Structure 1
């Protein structure tokens, strides 16, 4: 491993760009503001979606005000002391997850309880909305937005550039090549702009890989090589809102989180009770099914709306039909009729839902010479890789690393 380069850096008016406002990015932004309150001028938080949360976001619609759905992660398991400390610091932004959990046999429909292991806490965002975890990370102890953090929602970073001269800043551009910001440090929350899969989704070389080619920073190159070797298990979800008689059989099942064993298409069903005896239902595909349907993102997804990733409406409809048909073939579970849905069914693709492979070592997560740092569920922490907890912990971890690098 290449040893870090130590350098002197002016600390007045430090500007930091965090790319990605999932739980890793919002955790990093919060802890950067806390770690360097007298040094940071602004932390710009760039997010392609409409709000914070990433895979732990909550989908809403103006058409049905009472509808909300956690169609990525409906809750999180916290297993480490560092994770518990971060959650405790969020106060009322967090609540316990108390939904019954089961494992469902795909062939028979039989259910068995899935108990919570000793020492593990299940949590979700306040009011049942996972997005409130990320929102809580962006607020101070009084529930007010942290002054130093400047969210930039529905804004996608498509280009990065930094000259190799000492003290030069990072410059960020949009898909037209227009400048959208500059920063002394770049924090990459989520590996998207650094991973080869960028090319398949948006075309061209990954922005950070392209930028690194002109920097000759061996430490950054080593980090990018580790990231390039990682994979990710994709997930396709289909979700809808059911009311009245259409919701009754789902609410009567007696569980809210069901892992499905032995099915080639379906991996999970999540039932999320809502006001007025309604509920949201989310179907999660297996990774194998999602891989066999690559390139379909969902027309309402941020990748399609903001990033111009092409998505076939015909294929979306076929995937929805596939998942509903798979559900219909399972004993003991109801099947929503699309005509009975108050909202949906809609499809969404989580293309890098669960990081796979060797995590990026914490020692490579901060590259002082290039002024680049990495956080996300693909970075090594004491929590399980590819978990919500690992994303949270990595954000706090990288903030400490950047603070040390800035003061060195």
Structure 2
């Protein structure tokens, strides 16, 4: 982690964090920004898996589309129009089907992610975050593969290991502000709470109370490579009905054609409630991989071309999304920016009509930029 002083540290290079830095630059905010991301590149839950042994391989192993509850308006509409005009996104009209507990193809289930308009990243979903990050301008410095090992607030500055100091801090995810960090990071207290004791900032106190009560579903996404398959039309998404999900422990299958006729498939596996810690996660990844491979043949019965090739499928491993889908109510907008301690929050877990969607992630970044630049 670089040792320097900056005006803003943003933790997380998903849609909301990248939308924030782009919006700040668009508003003429002239501060320096350090973006820290645990992954190997921008994207967050819209990340794209690449392979060292096949440079043409691209697999969107998180969200396959940007979902909205309705047509965007205002600043968000202008952002989407700009991305469309630059060829970074296109309206998603790819076929979506449902699969019931009998293994029959049916209409897709009624799900918030399917009700409104959708856009797909071109050529990949990660392209959206990558473009937004470039729109942040030269004032943004990035550091990938960076996991936060410590956080403190000293003399009205946010201080990180290695000497990085910042006047402002933004979290685009809940991990450093949520009690689940205790198990995942092995900290004795919630990192943000440890950095700022209770009673110092009443808005932050209220925000942390809200965040502690937020829940999100976990996904275990198994990535698979099929050999060359028939070019006959296939659905882009196969959504299981609620009863089928309960029966198989799978939410949906997402298919993505690759170069030379190969096919990528991502199984969005549901969580079974097992305790996840740094020590237990490697074993759980193996357990989930085997479980998903076991149920896949039954799920592919309506597509015999794919089912016949299962013996030749190559597993690329499982990606665990620790907060794949926020549930219930989001963090109130009034708590998005804590002015006294100069810390803010963005992500699809902020309340609003786009809660739990890419729409909410993007809108929260735009809203927070307005608050910071004011």
Instruction: Report the TM-score range of the alignment, normalised by the length of the smaller protein.
Output: 0.7 to 0.9
Asked whether the equivalents of residues 324 and 335 of structure 1 are also in contact (C-alpha less than 8 Å), the reply is no
The answer for the alignment partner of 1:260 in structure 2 is: 240
Given candidates 40, 44, 50, the residue that maps to 1:60 is 50
What is the CA deviation profile of residues 171-210 of structure 1, one whole-angstrom value per residue up to 9, with x for unaligned ones?
Answer: 122xxxx43x111110111111101111111111221121
**Matching residue of 1:362:** 333
Q: CA deviation at 1:22?
A: 0.4
1:33 aligns with 25
State the distance in 1 between where 2:6 and 2:203 align: 22
Equivalent position SS for 1:28? helix
Q: TM-score, length-normalised on structure 2?
A: 0.88
1:182 is aligned to 2:165 = yes
* In 2: Cα distance, 1:84 partner to 1:103 partner: 30
Q: Which residue of 2 aligns with 1:274?
A: 258
Scaled by the length of structure 1, the TM-score of the pair is 0.81
Structure 2 residue 200 is the aligned partner of structure 1 residue 216: yes
- Structure 2 CA distance for partners of 1:113 and 1:201, relative to 1, 3 Å: closer
Alignment-derived partner of residue 103 in structure 2: 108
User: Which runs of no fewer than 5 residues in structure 2 stay unpaired?
Assistant: none
1:348 aligns with 2:337: no
Q: Check if 1:384 corresponds to 2:357.
A: no
Deviation at 1:120, TM superposition (A): 3.7
1:126 paired residue number = 122
Q: Deviation per CA, 1:206-258: give whole Å up to 9, x if none.
A: 211211217711111111111111011111111111222xx33xx64631101
Please say if 1:86 is aligned against 2:74.
Answer: no
Indicate the RMSD between aligned Cα atoms, in angstroms.
2.5
Does 2:214 correspond to 1:233? no
Secondary structure in 2 matching 1:320: helix
With 325-334 and 65-74 compared, the bigger mean Cα shift is at 325-334
1:252–1:27 distance in 2 versus 1, CA, 3 Å? same
CA contact (8 A) 2:198 2:205 kept: no
The DSSP-based 3-state class of the residue aligned with 1:67 is strand
In the TM superposition, residue 270 of structure 1 has moved relative to its aligned partner by 0.5
Aligned to 2:366: 396
Please show how residues 181-200 of structure 1 align to structure 2 within 5 Å: 181-200=164-183
The residue number in structure 1 matching 2:145 is: 154
Shift of 1:62: 0.9
Q: How does 1:270-309 map to 2 (within 5 A)?
A: 270-286=254-270, 290-295=271-276, 309=278
Query: Aligned partners of 1:268 and 1:311: how far apart in 2?
Result: 25
Aligned to 1:322: 291
Q: CA deviation at 1:102?
A: 0.9
